[in-house]
Amino acid sequence: MSDRIEADYLIETPIDPADAAAVMAGEQSSGTFVKLASETPELIERAAARVQHVETIDTVAQPSLPGAIAAQSYAVAKVTLSWPLENLGPSLPNLMATISGNLFELRQFTGLRILDLRVPAAFTSHNPGPKFGIEGTRRLSGVHKRPLIGTIIKPSVGLDPTQTAAMVADLAEAGVDFIKDDELQADGPACPFEDRARAVMEVINLAANRTGRKIMFAFNLTGEVDEMRRRHDLIRDLGGTCVMVSLNSVGLSGMLALARHSELPIHAHRNGWGYLSREPMLGWSYVAWQKFWRLAGADHMHVNGLRNKFCEADESVIRSARACLTPLRPEAPCLAMPVFSSAQTPLQAAETCRQLGSADLIHAAGGGIAGHPHGAAAGVRAMRAAWDAAMNGIPIGEAARGNPALAAAIKAFDQ
Amino acid sequence: MSDRIEADYLIETPIDPADAAAVMAGEQSSGTFVKLASETPELIERAAARVQHVETIDTVAQPSLPGAIAAQSYAVAKVTLSWPLENLGPSLPNLMATISGNLFELRQFTGLRILDLRVPAAFTSHNPGPKFGIEGTRRLSGVHKRPLIGTIIKPSVGLDPTQTAAMVADLAEAGVDFIKDDELQADGPACPFEDRARAVMEVINLAANRTGRKIMFAFNLTGEVDEMRRRHDLIRDLGGTCVMVSLNSVGLSGMLALARHSELPIHAHRNGWGYLSREPMLGWSYVAWQKFWRLAGADHMHVNGLRNKFCEADESVIRSARACLTPLRPEAPCLAMPVFSSAQTPLQAAETCRQLGSADLIHAAGGGIAGHPHGAAAGVRAMRAAWDAAMNGIPIGEAARGNPALAAAIKAFDQ
């Protein structure tokens, strides 16, 4: 199997799942809607996708998605397909077309979701992968053996470069480890990238000279390839230590072009993820999807947060974060640091610590720090105290008794 | 309104649609989950997204998507939001993050789909747009006042460069106007791009010398940015007239990097479209989605075909094709040629002609030409005859009486 690519799917189908799996394999390799003489047995042996596994797990009365062949009932099954590496080589954009392609539109399916994939070693050796990952992020940020406490510039839009830098100065004073641009803030006329970068890095460099530790600021350089490379170089030259990109905005080829050029950790934002995943019988599981981006060079991957403002259940969030911390291959783990965010406050620290079983994460609180009743510095202190307590097994209520910032955060956010 | 971006949505929500629309506007501009003092009235006036329109159109008892706030019933509504251009400038990757972003994951929605968008003139002037479009495609292919009759190399994978060129020689003999690589065929070790391009272009150039008309071959150069530019240059240098790219594999930044570099029409393949659109209350309408890619430089856009092998209804296919033929702005129409494909045969010509009301399309039949009982040349003759009949208002049965190739196609494919 070492030179074959494998992908796992969850399917729902009005036909026999084994037949449905054969349709998938045909559509994504040598088949078409009529049998061609040129599709010889020798060609099939060499180039066709293979059905490795089909397992029916349920039957449902109603189709999850419209448009398919009608039936009395619909089988739910797990399917594994494989392809020879020879068909496409270790190219991530072509891997995307091969394992997803037209499958989701076929009339033989009332549901189809990609659950996972496994790639031969050629993919990890050919693609950039994370250049910094957990170890590099800790080295550049100076944060060890605990999560990076992060925040997001808010309001997301509307601040000019000077106002943004003033907010960074407050957060630097407060002792935060990590700050990111909001994904809505990139290079608009109201807050140009270069002006913002210069203003912010001046504040960060001054603070670093004072404290000996440099805040990691993820500048959102999402844009065209040449723009991203130029913005990256500016950040590097200003002494910055991180850049951010919206994955669904730039796509795999954009990300690869940035990653091959980059000398800084890449903070990968998943905004748009909902349209890929919100319907449980359609699209992508995060477990499969994040592998593309780690191979392409993501050092930090957004995974949502526990008790978030979105629809995702906590168990799904934890599964995503664990996936980022699971080696892609034994010889090339390509680990990315999971980023927990979305309505995060000190109240989620203990559960995040317990359920993830690791301190290798960035815990980003926007409103949860800026909205602290005593201000951002107290917000950071409360997050740090909550994590200290969590990692030492001390209940948050107990920890709050000696910590007014944490006590105030609990009072403000525990609703 | 001239300097604002507008997007239309279909939403389903357990809360009042006006409140839901306000949540959308907040999430995608200056709001977060707590009210911040820094979100001043002046900042809101300048930078916040505005709710332009909310119209409730239905109420449903069951939620379309799981995970949201539970309710007795769910309102279905149309919502229009707008943003100041100042927030992001005319950047397509950042437009993607702005109009889609985290919206699909919000707990206030049991359904959310982007229906359409309108952009200020800065977007058409700043972005490449189609460099060739309909007029350029007709000029390079020498096909006027009728559709280009196209086909796809099949089997999709498994042929080597020599076998591919031999098939192109047959199709050239057959008189086809347009040929494309299958989207699964790019630059794998089993059929390297450069070897395939050289072998195929030798055949095409020889045929052009003989006939005076050059077949347009869309070479799939999907890959990393530098690879795509290098492959494009090879095709241009070999005298080729078209390149193809899988949009969901390369993403907006990859497409923009190719388009700014390209001197050839770009044939844009939408494989993966199903995961963006198959659930009616989630994701993207094609009408909205295709505007990004036309702005980014797509000359040909895949729209599926009538009576296709997929789930899409004919009326949706026609709506998509008409969208590609509708000007983006009066001063910058940016029209792309729609590509009809998927289980196409001469049998769909008349309805395609009548329903689209235009001959500005590529009609691509893979199995419908290669699978013709008398061979590919007869397959092309049958497609041409079906379109001649359709455009002259002659019923296909009547046209087939004087045309054995068409008669045989009807017999083979009318099931």
pLDDT tens digit sequence for A365-376 = 988 998 899 998
CB nearest to B32's CB, from A104, A188, A366: A366
Residue keyed to tokens 């206030």: B108
CB nearest to A246's CB, from B35, B97, B260: B97
Average pLDDT over residues A370-393: 94
The three-state secondary structure class of B342 is coil
Contacts of A34 in chain B (CB under 8 A): 367-368, 371
Q: Nearest-CA residue of chain B relative to A187?
A: B88
ipTM of the complex: 0.97
Instruction: Identify the H or E element spanning B376.
Output: helix B376-391
Q: Nearest-CA residue of chain A relative to B192?
A: A88
pLDDT > 70 in chain A, percent: 99
Q: Is the pLDDT of residue B37 over 90?
A: no
CB nearest to B89's CB, from A86, A157, A187: A187
Contacts of A246 in chain B (CB under 8 A): 93-94, 96-97
Contacts of A35 in chain B (CB under 8 A): 371
Instruction: Identify the H or E element spanning B318.
Output: helix B314-324
Q: How far apart, in whole angstroms, are the C-alpha atoms of residue A172 and residue B124?
A: 41
Q: How far apart, in whole angstroms, are the C-alpha atoms of residue B51 and residue A186?
A: 23
Residue-wise pLDDT for B296-326, tens only, equals: 999 999 999 999 989 999 999 999 999 999 9
Average predicted confidence (pLDDT) for chain B: 96
Q: Nearest-CA residue of chain A relative to B371?
A: A36
Contacts of A304 in chain B (CB under 8 A): 105
Q: Is the pLDDT of residue A1 over 60?
A: no
Q: How far apart, in whole angstroms, are the C-alpha atoms of residue B95 and residue A223?
A: 10
CB nearest to A311's CB, from B31, B67, B186: B67
* Chain A / chain B CB contacts < 8 angstroms: 369
CB nearest to B103's CB, from A43, A253, A274: A274
Average predicted confidence (pLDDT) for chain A: 96
Q: Is the pLDDT of residue B415 over 80?
A: no
Q: How far apart, in whole angstroms, are the C-alpha atoms of residue A220 and residue A225?
A: 13
CB nearest to B188's CB, from A35, A87, A187: A87
Cβ separation B249–A249 shorter than 8 A? no
Q: Is the pLDDT of residue B39 over 90?
A: no
Q: How far apart, in whole angstroms, are the C-alpha atoms of residue B320 and residue B313?
A: 11
Instruction: Please give the backbone phi and psi of residue A164, each rounded to the nearest 5 degrees, phi first.
Output: -65, -45
Class of residue B56 by CB neighbours under 10 A (exposed 0-12, middle 13-18, buried 19+): middle
Q: How far apart, in whole angstroms, are the C-alpha atoms of residue B181 and residue A323?
A: 35
The three-state secondary structure class of B202 is helix
Residue-wise pLDDT for A146-200, tens only, equals: 999 999 998 889 999 999 999 999 999 989 999 999 999 999 999 999 999 999 9
Cβ separation B250–A93 shorter than 8 A? yes
DSSP B53: E
Q: Is the pLDDT of residue A33 over 70?
A: no
Contacts of A249 in chain B (CB under 8 A): 93-94, 96-97, 251-253
- Cis amide linkage into residue B155, ω under 30° from 0: yes
Question: DSSP readout, B220-265?
Answer: E--S-HHHHHHHHHHHHHTT---EEEEHHHHHHHHHHHHHHH-SS-
Q: CA separation (Å) from A303 to A271, A316, B101?
A: 10, 9, 14
Q: Are A414 and A347 in contact (CB under 8 A)?
A: yes
Amino acid (1-letter code) at residue B268 = A
Q: Is the pLDDT of residue B352 over 70?
A: yes
Mutate to test the interface with B, among A35, A99, A230, A278 (most CBs of B within 10 A): A278
**Packed helices A92-99 and A247-261: angle between N→C axes, nearest 10 degrees:** 150
Cβ separation A184–B28 shorter than 8 A? yes
Q: In what order do the strands lie in the sheet with B282-284?
A: B50-60, B74-84, B4-13, B111-118, B282-284
Q: Are A277 and A283 in contact (CB under 8 A)?
A: yes
Strongest mean pLDDT among A21-35, A83-97, B33-47: A83-97
Question: DSSP readout, B87-147?
Answer: GT-S-HHHHHHHHTTTGGGBTT-SEEEEEEEE--HHHHHHS---SSHHHHHHHHHT--SSP
Q: How far apart, in whole angstroms, are the C-alpha atoms of residue B261 and residue B210?
A: 31
Residue A178: closest CA among A210, A204, A202, A145: A204
Q: CA separation (Å) from A372 to A397, A412, B75?
A: 17, 7, 35
Q: Which two tokens stand for residue A288?
A: 């499969």
Average pLDDT over residues B226-244: 98
The least confident of A257-261, A283-287, A376-380, B195-199 is A376-380
Cβ separation A223–B253 shorter than 8 A? yes
**Confidence category of residue A36, pLDDT binned at 50, 70, 90:** confident
Q: How far apart, in whole angstroms, are the C-alpha atoms of residue A22 and residue A243?
A: 43
Q: Nearest-CA residue of chain B relative to A186?
A: B88
Q: Which two tokens stand for residue A142?
A: 């100076």
Contacts of A251 in chain B (CB under 8 A): 248-255
Contacts of B107 in chain A (CB under 8 A): 309-311
pLDDT of residue A213: 95
CB nearest to B223's CB, from A91, A103, A183: A91
Q: Is the pLDDT of residue B6 over 50?
A: yes
Gap from B278 CA to chain A (nearest CA, Å): 7
- Cis amide linkage into residue A155, ω under 30° from 0: yes
Cβ separation A30–B284 shorter than 8 A? no
Class of residue A212 by CB neighbours under 10 A (exposed 0-12, middle 13-18, buried 19+): exposed
CA Rg, chain B, in Å? 23
**Confidence category of residue B127, pLDDT binned at 50, 70, 90:** very high
Cβ separation B157–A29 shorter than 8 A? yes
**Confidence category of residue B1, pLDDT binned at 50, 70, 90:** very low
* pLDDT, greater one: A31 or A348: A348
Cβ separation A32–B154 shorter than 8 A? yes
Contacts of B282 in chain A (CB under 8 A): 274-275, 278-279, 282
Contacts of A43 in chain B (CB under 8 A): 155, 158-159
Mutate to test the interface with A, among B29, B108, B249, B293 (most CBs of A within 10 A): B249
Residue B264: closest CA among B239, B290, B241: B241
Q: Is the pLDDT of residue B405 over 70?
A: yes
Q: Are B409 and B382 in contact (CB under 8 A)?
A: yes
Q: List beta partners, residue B268.
A: B245, B301
Class of residue B398 by CB neighbours under 10 A (exposed 0-12, middle 13-18, buried 19+): exposed
Class of residue B101 by CB neighbours under 10 A (exposed 0-12, middle 13-18, buried 19+): buried
Cβ separation A104–B29 shorter than 8 A? no
